[in-house]
Amino acid sequence: MFVKICGITRLEDAKAAVDAGATALGFVFWPGSPRAVDPHRARTITASLPPFVTAVGVFADQPAEYVNEVASLAQLGAVQLHGGESSDYITTMNRPVVKAVAIRDGLDLDAARIDVWPSRVVVLLDAHDPVRKGGTGRTVDWSVAAAIARRRPIVLAGGLTADNVGDAIARVRPFGIDVSSGVEAAPGIKDHGRIKALFEAVHGSRISARS
């Protein structure tokens, strides 16, 4: 399973996530986030990653030229867009795109809001928060997420922890998961014990699914 640990700001946290089994690491370049990281610092971290781990840059309503420049500087393998970016905006990206789509509490997600994104765009489902743009620690409606996952591969985010990730995977059947606050000691500071516990829970859920 694709597992991304997001909000990386320190080299030691990146190494802990990779050692635990992360297939991607997220670096937030939106300045409004408490997990924001300088592109040059991110480059120092991404330069140390093994070739099978993807560095993903997280942006929100920022100029396309800036996003592409940071993607090149920080050696990103993909960009994750958390704002109101349009399908036309996505065509200007020089990297593969992950598009975050918010699920509002108590509301079904209109199919058109998902289907507007072409199949080459990976859809990530997260809790709705127009201010923080993610990393809220709030879970999404898994029944809505599951309905979407039956139509196209999705990455599930929003409040995932070692305690609930097994249930989330079993109910939603996502292509992958994205975790930030659920493995933190503080915003941008990862708890290595929580990272290890998360991957143990993910591994356990996969064994249960096969048995």
pLDDT in tens, 70-95: 999 999 999 999 999 999 999 999 99
pLDDT in tens, 150-196: 999 999 999 999 999 999 999 999 999 999 999 999 999 999 999 99
How many domains are contained in the chain? 1
d(CA 24, CA 6): 8
Q: Is 163 annotated as catalytic? A: no
> Do 148 and 131 meet the contact criterion of CB atoms below 8 Å apart?
no
Tell me, yes or no, if 61 is annotated catalytic. Answer: no
Do 129 and 140 touch, CB atoms closer than 8 A? no
77-92 residues labelled b (16+ CB within 10 A) or e (exposed): bbbbbbeebeeebbee
Q: Which residue is catalytic, options 38, 61, 88, 126?
A: 126
Task: Judge whether residue 58 has pLDDT over 50.
Answer: yes
Determine the pLDDT at residue 111: 57
Can you give the three-state secondary structure of 101-156, one letter per residue? EEECCCCCCCHHHHHCCCCCCEEEEEECCCCCCCCCCCCCCHHHHHHHHCCCCEEE
- Scanning the structure block, which residue is given the tokens 């048995």? 211
The whole domain housing 31 covers 2-210
Q: Give the CATH number, domain containing residue 91.
A: 3.20.20.70
Q: Which two tokens stand for residue 2?
A: 């694709």
* Mean pLDDT score of the chain: 91
Given 6, 13, 141, 178, the catalytic residue? 6
Query: What's the pLDDT score for residue 78?
Result: 98
Return the pLDDT at 210.
Answer: 53
More confident residue, 138 or 134: 138
The better pLDDT of the pair 205, 126 is held by 126
pTM: 0.92
DSSP state of 183: G
Q: What pLDDT shows up at residue 211?
A: 46
Spatial separation of the C-alpha atoms in residues 96 and 108, rounded to whole Å: 27
Range in 63-67, 77-81, 126-130 the model is least confident about: 126-130
